[in-house]
Amino acid sequence: MFDINQLSDDLNKLSMENKCGQVTMSQKQKPLLCLNNYFYRISTKNNGNVFWRCTVTGCNVRCTTFGDTIGQKYAVNINDSFIHCHAPDTTKFANLEKRRFIKEKASVSDEPARKIISQNTGRGRGVKYSTIHRKPKYLIELWSIHKRLIDDIPRTTNYCESWHNAFGNMLKKHPNVYCLIDSLRHENKNKMFEL
């Protein structure tokens, strides 16, 4: 499924960095410029230069781009001294883009309308959910003990602990190295006999 939120995030990052806005389509199917979650409609055009003004009435922020093709990204020329008299709309861009993609898809594909809508909105009848498999944070090979089960070897380190406990009891307290080596040899011999 198309990830609108990802797209929206990407655009936000872009607009923060180098004032790059994207032209999307308004509900009235007119070009609408989105920059930092503020929206601008066309005011005038002159020799390819497009002059935009904020869609909110009473807000006088203006900017210019070179072109107004829907779906395209443009470098926006904006005067930083202008400040919007309202808050940015963080959800509008995603919604408008979703609507635009549905429309675009409907115009080229011959699938029934209901199917196209449900695929893009993820609700209602006939919804197709697609699962995206990502690489896990902790690789399965790292923690899976399935193979140990098949090979019939212990799944935990408890057997080591029990051996360690028994061996520790066999030694005297705080043995020196020579003493320890002797004990290890002794233990080794014992195990050999058991086998």
Interface contacts to Zn ion, rule CB under 5 A: 54, 56, 59, 61, 84
Grouping H, G, I as helix, E, B as strand and the rest as coil, residue 38 is strand
Helices (runs of H) and strands (runs of E) counted in the chain = 7, 7
Q: Which is nearer to Zn ion, 33 or 54 (CB)?
A: 54
Cα angle at 58 between 55 and 63, to 5 degrees?
50
Least distance (Å) between residue 53 CB and Zn ion: 8
Task: Tell me the DSSP string of 64-84.
Answer: EEE---TT-EEE-EE-TT---
Q: Which is nearer to Zn ion, 79 or 158 (CB)?
A: 79
Q: Which residues contact 88 (CB under 8 A, 6 or more apart)?
A: 36, 37, 38
Q: Which is nearer to Zn ion, 67 or 88 (CB)?
A: 88
Place of tokens 């070897």: 153
Least distance (Å) between residue 133 CB and Zn ion: 42
End-to-end, the C-alpha distance of the chain in Å comes to 61
Question: Diameter of the chain by CA atoms?
Answer: 98
Least distance (Å) between residue 54 CB and Zn ion: 3
Q: Which is nearer to Zn ion, 27 or 157 (CB)?
A: 27
Least distance (Å) between residue 60 CB and Zn ion: 8
Q: Which is nearer to Zn ion, 51 or 101 (CB)?
A: 51
Least distance (Å) between residue 91 CB and Zn ion: 16
